[in-house]
């Protein structure tokens, strides 16, 4: 039997409201906290390709690890996403805080309004370190940090990627990323320049 996933909701100024189920949060378009972590190694960034089995945004590219915070969790607890999705056990102290970015994704009457708490983790990373949660993550690809910044700023149409497990090379377009607001990606580009 599935247990309901409860999430703390907020107003637009990040003042706490009530706890709601995840389904209600998206049905009603309520603000909530999420944790995002980009893995960066010198001049490259790791992206996750979401599993084809995902309910939302299947097979699209996204931040290396991310997820919703449960009602009883703190921001620091979000680091569990690295272990759940990628098999990397880390503490919040191992990461570098970037910013909190307000982001809205709306598809029909499904509305995702997030306070994304953006962090960065610096490598080196070896493919042997990763154990992917296959129902969440299909694979990880590396991309030039410079190219990714240019893509997020709208200065190039494609970036070149390499699958860290198979070595397969592929060019991907901005439309192949999870449809966060342009502002989210622009803010991440600014932050990546400082890492």
The alpha carbon of 192 is separated from its chain's Cα centroid by a whole number of angstroms, namely: 14
Q: Which two tokens stand for residue 116?
A: 């994304």
In this structure, the chain runs to a length of 195
Contact 75, 99 (CB under 8 A): no
Predicted TM-score (pTM) of the model is 0.95
Give CA–CA dist 178/157, Å, rounded: 15
- For residue 50, the cross-strand partners are 137
For residue 60, CA distances in Å to 43, 73, 75, 109, 138 come to: 23, 27, 25, 20, 10
Residue 193: CB atoms within 10 Å: 11
Per-residue confidence (pLDDT) for residue 3, from 0 to 100: 72
Give CA–CA dist 143/32, Å, rounded: 30
Percentage, residues of the chain above pLDDT 90 = 96
- pLDDT tens, position by position, 153-192: 999 999 999 999 999 999 999 999 999 999 999 999 999 9
Give CA–CA dist 183/68, Å, rounded: 20
């Amino acid at each position: 039997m599935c247990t309901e996933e409860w999430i703390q909701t907020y107003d637009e100024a990040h003042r706490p409201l009530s706890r709601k189920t995840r389904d209600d949060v998206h049905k009603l378009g309520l603000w909530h906290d999420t944790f995002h972590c980009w893995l960066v190694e010198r001049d490259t960034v790791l992206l996750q390709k979401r599993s084809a089995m995902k309910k939302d945004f299947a097979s699209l590219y996204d931040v290396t690890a991310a997820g919703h915070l449960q009602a009883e969790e703190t921001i620091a607890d979000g680091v569990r996403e690295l272990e759940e999705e990628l098999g990397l056990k880390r503490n919040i102290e191992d990461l570098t805080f970037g910013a909190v970015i307000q982001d809205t994704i709306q598809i029909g009457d499904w509305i995702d309004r997030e306070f994304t708490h953006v962090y960065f983790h610096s490598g080196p990373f070896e493919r042997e370190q990763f154990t992917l949660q296959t129902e969440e993550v299909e694979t990880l690809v590396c991309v030039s940090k410079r190219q990714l910044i240019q893509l997020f700023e709208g200065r190039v149409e494609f970036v070149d990627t390499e699958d860290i497990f198979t070595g397969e090379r592929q060019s991907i377009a901005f439309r192949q990323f999870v449809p966060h607001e342009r502002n989210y990606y622009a803010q991440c580009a600014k932050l990546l320049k400082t890492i």
